[in-house]
Structure formats: C-alpha cells, structure tokens
Structure 1
Amino acid sequence: MELDWWYFRRLYEGLLEHDDCRAYLGDQRSEAADHLAALESLRKREPVPAAGDDEQLWRIMKLYGLSRVSDYLIERFGGQGEHAEFFSAIGLTPFEHAESFSPFHHEISAVVQDPSATAVTVEEVLWPGLWFGDLLFSRAGVRVRAPKHLVDATVATTSTLYFTFRRGQRPTSDLSHGWGSNSQWGTSFPRFYSDQDGLHLNWDGEVDIGADPPALRAGWSEEETEPLDERRELLLHRCFVRGPVPADASDRYPFDDRLSLTSAEWPLRPESIVDARPDVQKPEG
C-alpha cells in the first residue's frame, strides 16, 4: 500500500475523541494492520542505522504515532483488554518474559520492597510487551520484588520515564515534548532490537556508552557529561531505579546514547556489553 505517513496520528487523535474505544479500534483494525505491514523493513535491524535513508526515517516516524496509541491504551486500560487485543490483531506479537527480570523486556510499574531479597524477580506481569519482528515495540509492565539497593520502590515508579509520551500521573519525556502540534509528529520511534547478535538499546543513538569512556556527545564538554553508570542505568531502564536520584534526573538526555548487550540483567554485568556496529570504512586516499 502507499505509505500514508499520518495514519497513526489520526488513529491516536480519534481515540481521544471516542468514549467507546473498543468499537473505534474494532473499526480500525483492518486498516491499521495494513499500515503496520507497510513498515515491514523495521522488523530487522540494519547493520548501521537509517540516517540518510529518507523513506526509512519516515517509517520510523510513522511507527512513533502508533506508540502513542499504545501509551494511551496502557494509561487508560492498564495494558490489558483493548490494548493487548488490538495490537495482537494488527500484527504485533505479545510476550511476557516472566521467567526472569530483564530491564530490556520489562517496565517496572510496581515494586514489593523486600530487604531479604538478593535479586530482582518478577512478581506479576501487569501487561504484555509487544514485538514487531526483532523490534521491541513496547516492554511488558511488571511488579517486581527487590531489595532497595537494587530497585528503590519510590524512585523506580516515580522518576521520569524516558522514551515515553505519557504514562498516567508519572512524569515522562520523549523527543516530541516541547514541540508544536504538528512538529511533534516528526519524532522518531526509539528502536530497541533483540536478535542473534544480542540486545541493542536505542540503535539509532550516536554515542556508544558501552565504551569507557564513551565519545563526547556532539556539542557537550566533559564537565557537562553525566557519570557513565548513571547513563547506562537510565538507558537500560528508561528511568532511574536507585537512589539517591540525581538533581537533574528529569532533565537528562538519553536519546543520543546507545548500548548493545548479550543479556540485560540488573545489576548490569560489564562482561555483557558488546560493540555491535561494524567499523566505518574510511575512504581511501
């Protein structure tokens, strides 16, 4: 089908206008499935990101519109019912990954603070996550049991949730915030992939924070750069989960950072960090 870049924007705006979400989404299923199928090339990770490929960049921005639909349904229905039903019907694959806690696969929504615990474990899956091929469309929402030094209940559930447009009363931040009513829809969907080479967090990020020290962000000085362990925690969980919370926790910029891992555990194991991008071939002469 011909790519209609704004279909998912209209779908989201239509949701806000309809009280009967189930009926509205039911009417949209077939068309939404066709539009999602047109984004087929996003299901697999490119060896290098899509910079310079205008059509692929438009696909990434179009998928962002669908992510807003997901955020709205999670907020309104807790990720169950209409959310899981609609996205399964249009071509996404639900998952729970309930066998072990993984910040790549799981968004912490609630915490049972247990001083006797020695690790973070999944107590309950509150809503399923969703795959689009190898692309992580959304994480599963979970309640975890954890000691406070690994996951602080207050920090993990109230600190700013990045790469997210809306999540109830919780503060969120994505690259659309602060832009006008039209400009905000030019936001790129954050691509997190799982494939045979590992887990790839924010694949389009320009700075590999697996390196120690990583390269400086463009336009940043060393004095302006946050501690590496905080940057990794923020990208891995998309929020802070331990205290004390940095004073600028709601004003961070993880959108340039990238990280590839063999597995996502918490605490993060340094040996799980890998470099998944091939070296850029320099021109001869």
Structure 2
Amino acid sequence: MDLDWAYFRRLYEDLLDHDGDRHRFLADRRGTAAAHLAELAPLRRRERIPPGGYTGDDEQLWRIMKLYALSRVSDYLIELRPEDGAPRTRFFTEIGLTPFEHAEAFSPFHHEIVAVVQDPNATRVTVEEVLWPGFWFGDLLFSRAGVRVRAPRHLIDAAVATTSTLYFTFRREPRPTDDLSHGWGSNSQWRTSFHRFYADEDGLHLNWDGEIDIGEDPPHSLAGRPPNETPLDERRELLLHRCFVRTALPHDEHDRFPYDDRLTLATAEWPLPPESIVRTPRPA
C-alpha cells in the first residue's frame, strides 16, 4: 500500500459528518484503518532524530503527520457522551493499538487529569477512577488515559488542572486546547506532526522531537531565537502534564509554546524528583 497520508484525515472528517451508529461506522472501516496504521510501524520505536530534524522529503515525517490525523479521531471520540465511549476503545484495539489503564498509581506521563477530588488530608496524588483508557503503539504513547484523581491542593489544584489550556491536544471540550494545527487553513493544518512521547528501556521520553532538553539547567537556546525566560519549573510542569496543574495561572498561560522542549525521565512522578531527570544529548 502506498503511503496515503490523508486517509486518517478523511476518516476524521467522515466521522464528524456521520449522524448514525458510530459502532457500525467504525467497524466497517477497521480493516482498512488497520492496514493504514500498520504501515506506520517505523514509529513504534524511538529513533535518533537527524540533525536539524526531518525535511519534507523524509517519509518518516509523513508518517508522523499521518498519525496526527488519527489522533484527531481519538480526540473526537473522547468528547462523546460516556455511554458512547465504547466505540473508541473497541476501534483502536481492533486496528492495532494496545489499551492501558495504569489504575494503580498516578503518572502524569500516562494520565490526563480530567477531574480532581480535592482532599486536604491526602499526602500524594492517587487515581480514583479511569474514565477512558490510554493506548500504546509499540513504545509510542498514542494517547493518555483520562483519570479522576484525589490530591491535596499544593500538588494538584482542581481549578487549575481541569481548566488550564491543554497543550498537544486538538480538542477536549469544554476546556481550551492548543496544538500546532490551530490557526492554520483547512489544508495546511493537516501537515501537523504527532507529538511523540516514548517509553522504553532508556526512560520516558517526553516530546522526543523537541530540540531543547529542559533536563539541563539552564536549557540552551535555539540559534537565532531569543532565550526563553519562562521559569524552568513551569516549563517542566507544562511539558510533563501538558497543562498547568498547580502553578498560579499566569496571564499568558494560553499562549505558551512547549513544542520545542523535550525531557527524559527515569520515572514520571508528581512532584517531579530532580533525580528522575535523564540527560539525552542530540547528535550535533
């Protein structure tokens, strides 16, 4: 099969236009969708990024953009009413993704906070309920599991964690979201790259394609750009959770740019222990 990079875009657009039985709609397409996902197999394992990143001639970049379109299908299905949530789990399992819940312990790498039980007697963050499963594509985190957590306010502030802008995400009504497709035209937006978060024997790699390792203190600046003056702890919080969860929201919290940052961790805990940070130098 030739790399039809627009297949998942068409699937997303057709799904939005479909008013009937979503189970049947997705079931009728699972064989074709599975074949298209299978051709993205090189994304299942983390690779060394070429110096300067991929160019438009690299097939790997087109695979990354194609997977982004499938992530939009996931975002849309997450927004459906709870009683309609089953199509997402069944469809993604049947086309070749591996579901997970990780219900035993809270991990900001694996979990998206959807709701918070504020408990002043709690001493740590715990998972109260898994609201939707996450999915793996090999070592690649396709989507996090949505969870309700119990936490003291000094670790997770309920208002901040559930209403701050959710980055690396196209849609998640009713909260504000931000990804690199926002603001682009109807065709240009589909050239957005899927943000790759990997888990393998070397650690948890957040936004592997990011050019700035924020495990360094201070991080380096990109050539030709002014230094990022954002406090390092805020940058790490935003990349780890993909939103703010306890920081008093700055006036520009909806206008941050975490997409250049990357971070590798031995474990994803909250609060983030400094000793969990692993340096991951890039090729020169």
User: Structure 2-normalised TM-score?
Assistant: 0.95
Aligned CA RMSD, in angstroms, stands at 1.4
Structure 1 residues not aligned, in runs of 5+: 281-285
Measure, in 2, the Cα distance between the counterparts of 1:143 and 1:185. 31
2:196 aligned partner, one-letter code:
R
Do 2:234 and 2:247's aligned partners in 1 also have CA atoms closer than 8 Å? no
Give the match for residue 65 of structure 1: 69
1:7-46 to 2 correspondences below 5 Å? 7-19=7-19, 20-46=21-47
1:228-247 to 2 correspondences below 5 Å? 228-247=232-251
1:215-226 to 2 correspondences below 5 Å? 215-222=220-227, 224-226=228-230
Do 2:100 and 2:136's aligned partners in 1 also have CA atoms closer than 8 Å? yes
Measure, in 1, the Cα distance between the counterparts of 2:47 and 2:149. 33
Query: How much has 1:276 moved relative to structure 2?
Result: 2.6
1:1-285 to 2 correspondences below 5 Å? 1-19=1-19, 20-48=21-49, 51-52=54-55, 54-78=58-82, 80-222=85-227, 224-277=228-281, 279-280=283-284
Measure, in 1, the Cα distance between the counterparts of 2:41 and 2:158. 38
Query: How much has 1:225 moved relative to structure 2?
Result: 2.1
SS at match of 1:178: coil
SS at match of 1:76: coil
Alpha-carbon spacing, 1:141–1:218, altered in 2? closer, same or farther (3 Å): farther
Alpha-carbon spacing, 1:218–1:98, altered in 2? closer, same or farther (3 Å): farther
Query: How much has 1:30 moved relative to structure 2?
Result: 0.3
Do 1:165 and 1:174's aligned partners in 2 also have CA atoms closer than 8 Å? yes
Do 1:77 and 1:83's aligned partners in 2 also have CA atoms closer than 8 Å? no
Alpha-carbon spacing, 1:77–1:36, altered in 2? closer, same or farther (3 Å): farther
Structure 2 residues not aligned, in runs of 5+: none
User: Structure 1-normalised TM-score?
Assistant: 0.95
Alpha-carbon spacing, 1:77–1:90, altered in 2? closer, same or farther (3 Å): farther
Do 1:47 and 1:277's aligned partners in 2 also have CA atoms closer than 8 Å? no
2:22 aligned partner, one-letter code:
C
Query: How much has 1:278 moved relative to structure 2?
Result: 5.2
Measure, in 2, the Cα distance between the counterparts of 1:191 and 1:130. 13
SS at match of 1:104: coil
2:67 aligned partner, one-letter code:
L
Total equivalences in the alignment: 279
Measure, in 2, the Cα distance between the counterparts of 1:109 and 1:42. 28
Query: How much has 1:248 moved relative to structure 2?
Result: 0.7
Query: How much has 1:62 moved relative to structure 2?
Result: 0.3
The percentage of counterpart residues that share the same residue type is: 72
Query: How much has 1:279 moved relative to structure 2?
Result: 4.8
Query: How much has 1:175 moved relative to structure 2?
Result: 0.2
Do 1:48 and 1:277's aligned partners in 2 also have CA atoms closer than 8 Å? no
For residues 41-99 of structure 1, give each alpha carbon's deviation from its aligned partner in whole angstroms, at most 9, with x where no partner exists: 00000033662461000000000000000000001145830110110010000001111
Query: How much has 1:150 moved relative to structure 2?
Result: 0.5
Measure, in 2, the Cα distance between the counterparts of 1:77 and 1:217. 43
